[in-house]
Structures are given as C-alpha cells and as structure tokens.
Amino acid sequence: MNQTVLGELVQKIRKEKALTQEELAGLTELDIRTIQRIEKGEVKPYYSTLKTLSRVLDYDFISAANNKSWQFSQEEIRLYREKFRRRRFIRIAISVAALCFLLAAATTFPHFRFLGMAKSTWAPFFYMIMFGLIIGIGLVWRCPACNAHLGDPFTSKLCPKCGLKLKE
C-alpha cells in the first residue's frame, strides 16, 4: 500500500467514526498538520504514528499497509544497521578511553598542581566531569534512521518510533 492509498484509508476510517481532523489530532496527540499530510499522502507515517492511529480509530493500519511501503528498503536497513554499529563502536571506544584517562589522572602525579591548586582541590570536579561524560556517552543513544531516543543500546533491538530493527 502506498502513501496515497494509506492516506485515503485513514481519511475514510476517520469519516466513518464521524471525527474531524482536529478531533483526531486531539485524540492521537498528533499535530493537525501531521494528520493532514498523512491523509493527503504527502508523508510516510512513522510506525509509532500508525500504532497510535490504529489504537484511536480501532483499525489495524499496520496490517493494512501490507507491503510496508512506509518502512525501509533492505538497502536502507543495511546502511542504518551499519551506521548504528559504527556509532556503538565509537562510543564504547570513547568510554573506555575516558575511563583510562580518569584512572591515569587519579593514580599518577600525586603532587600535580592545576592552576596553582592542589590535586585534592581540582580532582573531585575533574572526576565528576569525567563520570558525567562516560554516563552521557552510554545513555544518549539515537536511532540512525529517525533520531529517536533508544535508551540502552545493548538491549534495544527495535526503534520505538520508526520500527527499525537495529539487530537481527
């Protein structure tokens, strides 16, 4: 099913339920412009958007979009998975390097002075910044396709927004 047919189906079901675009937008918590663009066939709706529309209109749009034209081609999936693998490798490498740097700063040069301050003065701030960096690198993961927040990259296998399978 292409975008235009899907849009016509959404519009037909919405009218059968006697809802205006504004009412549907309010029920789905989507922008009215998003509803209009879906109904006109101007956009490929996200997987999460189709799930929301399916729930509100009580119609399975995901199964109706049988050939899944709103999803990704095999080539796009391969490219996005490769991009995700590269990002994960880079982040893990940066985290390990930051931990090594933190340990090196903590254990070496006990009498090192930074801007004239003793290590006991500047070290706690340095450690907090480094731990924040390590935690930030570990927690802020984004989908390479739609830039949605993924959470834990080691357990998440599916993007909640676009439905992209990140791992086999």
Enumerate helices (H) and strands (E) in the chain, giving the number of each.
7, 0
Write out pLDDT tens, residues 129-163: 877 877 777 667 777 777 777 776 666 677 777 77
Pull the structure tokens for residue 115.
Answer: 């801007």
- CA 123 to chain centroid, in Å, comes to 35
Measure the CA–CA gap between 36 and 21, rounded to whole angstroms: 7
DSSP for 66-132, please give it. Answer: TT-TTS--HHHHHHHHHHHHHHHHHHHHHHHHHHHHHHHHHHS-TT--BTTB-HHHHHHHHHHHHHH
pLDDT band at 71 (very low <50, low <70, confident <90, very high): low
Write out pLDDT tens, residues 83-125: 888 888 888 888 788 778 777 777 776 666 667 777 777 778 7
Tally the residues of the chain: 168
Measure the CA–CA gap between 69 and 86, rounded to whole angstroms: 27
